[in-house]
Structure 1
Amino acid sequence: MVRKITAAAIAALFVPVVHAADAVSWEKLWTFTHGAGTSVAGQTSEIVAFDSLNNELWVAGLKGIDILSASTGSFVQHIDTTAWGELNSVAVRNGVAAFAIAAPVKTAAGTVLTFDTTSRSMLNSYSVGALPDMVTFTPDGRIMTANEGEPLPLTASTTQEARGSISIIDTTRDTVTTLGFSAYDSSSGLGRIVTPGSKPSLDWEPEYIAVAKDGKSAMVTLQEANAVAMIDLTTNSITSVKSLGLKDFSLPQNAIDTSDRDGPGNTALTGNYRTVPVKGMYMPDAIAAYSSGGKTYYVTANEGDSRNLDDAIPGAFNEEIRVGSGSYVLDPTVFPNAADLKKNANLGRLTVTTSGGDLDGDGDYDEIHTFGGRSFSILDENGNMVFDSGNQLEALLLAQFPALIDDGRSDNKGVEPEGVTLLEVGDRTLAFIGFERSLQSVIAIYDVTDPTAATFLDFIVDADSLSPEGLSAFEYDGKLFLAVANEVSGTTSMFSISAVPEPETYAMLLAGLGMIGLAAKRRMR
């Protein structure tokens, strides 16, 4: 099960070459399947956290927490949290686990529970903002939650609103500070407004939090708003919000496959990557922080997301539409070839938003805005983008594992990078990016030590799992590990990670083989 990575020059895909000193290896240690027969019926695997005190994984799913032995993957205990609502996230620090739980009515205040990871007894309960979707600890032990505050449709014409927020819990004083966005209600251009006529305090939905290593600041992704918020943890305040802008898919390095029916006779044509007159909203989900050159940087997984209340109640607000729809009118001056663009083989199948692109407000669309960047990005501490992976994630997957591309998602958001975690290996920092929409569990490994020039290393492919959601990389007993919670398959997997071989040995091997620029044959498991 051990996989070693070779240098490969893939110039045709415009991707960085893997260098010998960047080589790593991975080995799958075990996979645990949650649910009836192993833990409890209906349990899933969505977010995973490592408890170093007891060498255990705490896995959050719909029915609560499954505790697993990190060494063997054996089941230890289930903690039922359904009495409080739906569990969304878990984090562990110094023998304390924190759970983020949405209320039964998601627009009501959510709950954070804390547990002792040794006795597994509950320590405390805290009330936080509506729909806490993610929980994390700061270095000094405070607990933070990203509270989405999603609206709840009551009828096709009536919606109950909820305010997105960030809660900060001081467990030493048992106090909760909740930060909202009402101060930005009179501003514009800082983040997208999805629902027409809404305002930031109601429309923006915090998704994920990354805390800087020094614990003085944090960055929060506002996924649907296509923005990030900067938090000052010395004053417990939101200091700024920054839009991430639009990704130009007309550039060669950003070429995408826009259709699931672009083959002969409306059949699928996998990997039909082209430059197109479309712009993507990055819309990051997960985010992770690291330091480089004395500065803080953030890695984002640019999944993309839309607001579709019609899924819950037919006729409620839904921003999604296909370019080929008769009600999606392209400006004839900007798009004189609109009829051709609307064909299934071109952009007709592409899912886009009605809440952006009409630049002059005349009812037709001057730009085509779609969901997600189909990439990962690296941001500086002010939210400025210093690196984006372009189309590397999908182009490399196509080159190395074409059978794992789900062409049925080409017209949506591609492989949908969703989860991200970071791991320090000596003086290097590795990023692991999970793909929600591939036909097996796929995780890309990049060296992000230089934030302006991230380098692809390899893919971890797990044939026993599907849709990695939560990733956690950590060191224990001098060894490096990656734990992965796979949502669709309901599995949790553990991998060992190491650097191999010595750079000098590796360079000599490559020179002897004379194989630089050729990809080694790969065996998929």
Structure 2
Amino acid sequence: MIKKTLAVFAALFLIFGCENDNNENNTPELEVNENPASFKEVGTITIGGTGAAEISAYDETTKRLFTVNNSSTNKIDVIDLTDPTKPVVLTSIDMGTYNGAANSVAVYGGKLAVALESKSNKQEEGKVVVFNTSTYALIKEITVGALPDMITFSPDGKFILTANEGEPNDTYSLDPEGSVSIIDVAANYAVTTLNFAQFSTQLSDLKTKGFRIASVSNSFANDIEPEYITISSDSKTAWVTLQENNGIAKIDLVGKKNVQLFPLGYKDYSLADNAIDVSDKDGAIAFATWKVKGMFQPDAIANFESNSIPYLVTANEGDAREYSAFVDVRRINHSSVVLDPTVFPTAAAMKADGVLGRLNINTKMGDTDGDGDFDELVSFGARSFSIWNGNTGALVFDSKNELDKKAHELGLYDDNRSDDKGVEPEAVYVTKMGNKQILFVGLERADALMIYDVTSPAAPKLLQAIKTGDAPEGLTFIPAAKSPNKKSMVIVSSEGDGSVKIFQPELN
């Protein structure tokens, strides 16, 4: 009898596997022999204009996709994916009733969670609104920190987390604390909101390693701006990108507390493998080395595990602060940017538009000796994706200039962005396909999706590049077991043209 039971179990194991798709339910995955280098567009739908398709989340029970639509009225569009080749908008959930503007959505177990910033004043506390995915009935309304920009469920569904960016108003008269809210679903949606004030005593050490605190108030807790969250497969640990601060925070979800900050340091553009195009006015796409550093400043983050080590993948987009009371970005050719003549002996030539003059740099960094001129040039973003050790924060891999160069080879590189952030990596998503860890990277300014095999975290391999809609913002992966047609799907939501595109792979 025991042998028979084991045989049945073995047979079931061959049919079903396990997958970790970051923040979705960990249900068994149908064993299908799919080729992760063969994704093709099978369906598309346009739900509006600019801002219409930012972030999407899928409900496997109803086969519905819930997509943020801010093109006109603030709403969540509900899209039927029963036939992935013919997506249809079924209805919309009006967010106007809740006095907030939707920024992000997440789904788990028949629940749709929406992150809303305050509509009247985004420096005020935000909220999370939870709906039933079948009836759209309101389940709960929860207060969280200011400007919840991203929302996710833990893989076990016990927690909802929001990254509360806490941006200031234009005059910096109000600058709320950046925070992360942890909502305990089983405890009647009780909220614990964490700020980052405890790390202020480490500021000196953090700054030497590239962490950035700079604003009018110069307050550590208020200056922190959480952007995106990823949660470990056991739902015990979360990592949060602090984009403007050039760092990642690690959170203990069991104890509901912040435990560590990882400063991310700089990328060295004087190295041949990091060569970049820095001018949008030279009439060419020319990759060259420069005496410039780049802050990584990641937007989206994902995680996977290999040999019991957690790895973090970041989309190193970069971001500046531009308010009437505080601006930290200028082009090198600006009159206020004075280069140290000893460090930069050819400063006048360097500041020409066709040379380095058009590059945007951080004006609150780089004066290392305090004499009023720039001894270092620090730009925004790293024009790459990176893989980090989730335990230590150590850099394991960086894609160097491969994203820019591959986009150029494919005719997708936008030279108008050379002075800023290149292809502008915006989104990342990691999932298991067969025995491989597969990474999807969305490039906002190249309108492209890059697919990598990251099974070996230190040596990712590019598998495929796909054209997407305009300015891809959100990536969602649906494994075969949850897919309406039992084939895996990648859904790309693009805010530039309001399109939602569906891609599926071929079988091996």
- TM-score, with length taken from structure 1: 0.84
Return the alpha-carbon distance in structure 2 between the equivalents of residues 294 and 33 of structure 1.
Answer: 41
- Aligned pair count reads 455
In structure 2, relative to structure 1, the CA distance for the partners of 1:445 and 1:499 (3 Å cut) is farther
- Select which of 227, 246, 254 maps to 1:226: 246
Report the Cα offset of residue 145 of structure 1.
Answer: 0.2
Q: Which residue of 1 aligns with 2:342?
A: 333
Match for residue 45 of structure 1?
53
Instruction: Tell me if 1:73 matches 2:87.
Output: yes
CA displacement, residues 24-63 of structure 1 (integer Å, 9 cap, x when unaligned): 2112111111139xxxxx8711001111111111101221
Partner of 1:386: 396
**2:251 equivalent to 1:238:** no
- RMSD value over aligned CA atoms? 1.5
Q: For 2:37, which of 24, 27, 48 is the aligned residue?
A: 24
What is residue 395 of structure 1 aligned with on the other side?
Answer: 405
- 2:145 paired residue number: 129
In the TM superposition, structure 1's runs of 4+ consecutive aligned residues that sit over 6 Å from their partners are: none
> Where does residue 456 of structure 1 map in the other structure?
462
Q: Distance in 2 between matches of 1:364 and 1:309?
A: 23
SS in 2 for 1:185: helix
- The 8 Å contact of residues 107 and 149 in structure 1, kept in 2 or not, is answered as yes
Distance 1:196 1:113 in 2: 33
For 2:268, the equivalent position in structure 1 comes to 248
Q: Any residues of structure 2 matched to 1:182-193 within 5 Å, and which?
A: 182-188=197-203, 189-190=205-206, 191-193=211-213
Does the CA contact (< 8 Å) of 1:34 and 1:43 recur in 2? no
Superposition pairs for residues 332-481 of structure 1, below 5 Å? 332-381=341-390, 382-399=392-409, 401-402=410-411, 404-438=412-446, 441-462=447-468, 465-475=469-479, 476-477=482-483, 478-481=486-489
Cα gap change, 1:23 to 1:129, in 2 (>3 Å): closer
Equivalent residue in structure 2 for 1:100, among 115, 118, 124: 115
Aligned residue for 2:202, secondary structure, equals coil
- Change beyond 3 A, Cα 1:136–1:23: closer
1:336 and 1:159 map into 2 onto residues whose CA distance is 41
For 1:478-517, list aligned pairs within 5 A: 478-498=486-506, 500=508
Partner of 2:161: 144
% identical equivalent positions = 42
TM-superposed deviation, 1:326: 1.3
Which residue type is aligned with residue 454 of structure 1?
Answer: P
**Given residue 354 of structure 1, which amino acid in structure 2 is its aligned partner?**
T
- Taking the aligned partners of 1:435 and 1:80, their CA distance within structure 2 comes to 30
Question: Secondary structure at 2:273's aligned position in 1?
Answer: helix
Corresponding residue for 1:518?
none
Find the aligned partners of 1:447 and 1:344 in 2 and give their Cα distance.
38
For residues 430-486 of structure 1, what are the alpha-carbon distances to aligned partners after superposition, in whole Å with 9 as ceiling and x for unaligned? 111111112xx2111111111111111111113xx2000000112124421101110
Deviation, 1:122, is 0.9
Contact 1:194/1:224, CA 8 A, preserved across alignment: no
The residue identity in structure 2 corresponding to 1:214 is D
Distance in 2 (CA, whole Å) between partners of 1:474 and 1:485 is: 14
Q: How much does 1:339 deviate?
A: 1.1
Give the unaligned 5+ runs of structure 2: 1-33
- Aligned twin of 1:286: 300
CA distance in 2 between counterparts of 1:196 and 1:43 reads: 30
Measured after TM superposition, the shift of residue 23 of structure 1 is 6.0
Residues 118-147 of structure 1, C-alpha deviation per residue, up to 9 Å, x if partnerless? 111110010000000000001232100000
Three-state SS of the structure 2 residue aligned to 1:397 is: helix
What residue number does 1:39 align with? none
Distance 2:342 2:59 in 1: 59
Once the two structures are TM-superposed, the CA of residue 242 in structure 1 deviates from its matched residue by 1.2
Match of 1:259 among 249, 272, 279: 279
Helix, strand or coil at the partner of 1:172: helix
What is aligned with 1:117? 133
Query: Would the aligned equivalents of 2:111 and 2:130 in 1 still touch at CA under 8 Å?
Result: yes
Distance 2:308 2:376 in 1: 39
Gaps of 5+ in 1: 1-20, 37-41, 263-267, 311-315, 501-525
Distance 1:76 1:454, change over 3 A: same
CA–CA separation in structure 1 for the residues paired with 2:425 and 2:180:
23
For the residue of structure 1 that corresponds to 2:348, the secondary structure is: helix
- Structure-2-length-normalised TM-score: 0.87
